[in-house]
């Protein structure tokens, strides 16, 4: 049997490559979460405090560091609902690279504004996130720019895995790590970095790119409509499907209401102003969708904090 496509050594190398250009984000204990879900200890890995407000710069910086001079001269391009967009824009500015980001006309306005604020050109011609991928392919053909994939790239996956390294160092005996899932880059990286912890992914019920891909044995296109816009890609990566098939115990699904309830919980009890995507892992725990032993230590990744203010306000007052 072939070895894993991304190894723990790859993740360790990525940490050296990234260096101090990202924050080592805090891992908070939560007695309230532990008591609520019936375990001995519970922790929250607060990636919403990362540069640009999500875990995404880790993978992007690792990828950009490996571009050749010829590739750098062509400039970069990416496609994103928002968090990866900001990360590529931010990292490109650090690296002195020209950057174009393809987003849909319905993308989170705050994420669009932040992406432009980091210096990227933003293309909003596509009507929805799925169509924006087709627009991306057109622009790659026209411009020759280097595509920085949001999730289906071993260097990006290895960079995201540094979240898992930090978590394991902060909580050495963590039994279960629960991770929000979109295209699969974050959970693939964490699973590649994890030694003995079981890793469980969480998707919205209305956005099942990774679980559908795992069921089919290959990437498939799905329809996504969720308040967790960061977890709504039209497909998961083939690389991520392969890693998760080997290393992830299972994927569980949460409803929109469960995501909203978890976001309110994190805001009120943990003082974490996350976005809906960042609340998905906590949602699965609060909803009792993960089997846990009373003596377990569990950690949930709070993956981002770039919420649309209007959506966040509606969730926090209970209108969503």
From first to last of its 320 residues, the chain has per-residue pLDDT tens of 466 799 999 999 999 999 999 999 999 999 999 999 999 999 999 999 999 999 999 999 999 999 999 999 999 999 998 899 999 999 999 999 999 999 998 888 889 999 999 999 999 998 887 889 999 999 999 999 999 999 999 999 999 999 999 999 999 999 999 999 999 999 999 999 998 899 999 999 999 999 999 999 999 999 999 999 999 999 999 999 999 999 999 999 999 999 999 999 999 999 999 999 999 999 999 999 999 999 999 999 999 999 989 999 999 998 87
Residue with tokens 């932040």: 114
Q: Do domains 8-55+154-316 and 57-147 have the same CATH topology?
A: yes
Q: Which residue blocks in the chain are alpha helix, DSSP H?
A: 8-18, 31-37, 57-65, 69-74, 83-95, 109-117, 129-143, 154-160, 162-170, 185-193, 209-216, 238-247, 256-269, 280-286, 309-316
- Residue 3: predicted pLDDT: 67
Q: How far apart are CA 246 and CA 267, in angstroms?
A: 34
The pLDDT score that the predictor gives to residue 2 is: 60
For the chain, domain boundaries = 8-55+154-316, 57-147
- How far is CA 70 from its chain centroid? 29
82, 306 in Cβ contact below 8 A?
Answer: yes
DSSP per residue over 181-250, as a string?
-SSSHHHHHHHHH-SS-EEEEEEETT--HHHHHHHHTS--------S-GGG--SS--HHHHHHHHHH--E
Give the 3-state secondary structure of residue 86.
helix
Instruction: Give the separation between CA 255 and CA 85, rounded to whole angstroms.
Output: 26
Rounded to 5°, angle at Cα 110 from 106 and 112: 60
- Among residues 125, 120, 138, 104, the alpha carbon closest in space to that of 229 is found at 104
Sign of CA dihedral 265, 300, 221, 216: negative
Looking up tokens 């309230």 gives: 32
From the list 236, 182, 237, 195, the residue with the least C-alpha distance to 55 is 182
CA 31/CA 320 separation, integer angstroms: 27
CB 59 within 8 A of CB 160: yes
The closest alpha carbon to 88, from 119, 113, 66, 110, belongs to 119
Quote the pTM value.
0.96
Distances (CA, A) of 22 to 10, 57, 190, 279: 18, 7, 17, 22
Provide φ and ψ at 273, rounded to 5°.
-85, 70
Which CATH fold topology does 8-55+154-316 show?
Rossmann fold (3.40.50)
Picking from 185, 127, 180, the residue whose alpha carbon sits closest to that of residue 153 is 185
The tokens for 194 are 């994890």
Q: Does domain 57-147 have CATH number 3.40.50.300?
A: no
């Amino acid at each position: 049997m072939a070895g894993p496509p991304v190894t723990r050594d790859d993740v360790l190398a990525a940490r050296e490559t990234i260096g101090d250009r990202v924050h080592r984000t805090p891992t908070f204990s939560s007695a309230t979460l532990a008591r609520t879900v019936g375990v001995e200890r519970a922790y929250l890995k607060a990636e919403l405090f990362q540069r640009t407000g999500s875990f995404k710069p880790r993978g992007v910086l690792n990828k950009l560091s490996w571009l050749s001079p010829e590739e750098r001269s062509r400039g970069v391009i990416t496609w994103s609902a928002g968090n990866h967009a900001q990360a590529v824009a931010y990292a490109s500015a650090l690296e002195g690279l020209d950057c174009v980001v393809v987003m849909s006309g319905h993308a989170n306005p705050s994420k669009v504004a932040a992406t432009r604020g980091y210096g990227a050109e933003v293309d909003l011609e596509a009507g929805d996130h799925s169509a924006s991928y087709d627009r991306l392919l057109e622009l790659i053909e026209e411009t020759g720019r280097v595509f920085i994939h949001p999730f289906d790239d071993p260097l990006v996956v290895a960079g995201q895995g540094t979240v898992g390294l930090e978590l394991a160092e902060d909580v050495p005996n963590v039994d279960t790590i629960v991770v929000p899932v979109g295209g699969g880059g974050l959970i693939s990286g964490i699973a590649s970095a994890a030694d003995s912890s079981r890793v469980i992914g969480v998707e919205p019920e209305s956005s099942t790119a990774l679980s559908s891909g795992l069921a089919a044995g290959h990437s498939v296109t799905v329809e996504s409509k969720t308040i967790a816009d960061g977890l709504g890609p039209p497909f998961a990566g083939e690389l991520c499907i392969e890693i998760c098939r080997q290393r992830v115990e299972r994927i569980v699904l949460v409803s929109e209401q469960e995501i909203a309830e978890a976001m309110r919980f994190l805001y009120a009890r943990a003082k974490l102003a996350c976005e809906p995507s960042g609340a998905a892992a906590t949602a699965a725990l609060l909803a009792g969708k993960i089997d846990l032993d009373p003596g377990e230590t569990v950690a949930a990744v709070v993956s981002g904090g770039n919420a649309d203010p209007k959506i966040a306000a509606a969730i926090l007052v209970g209108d969503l």
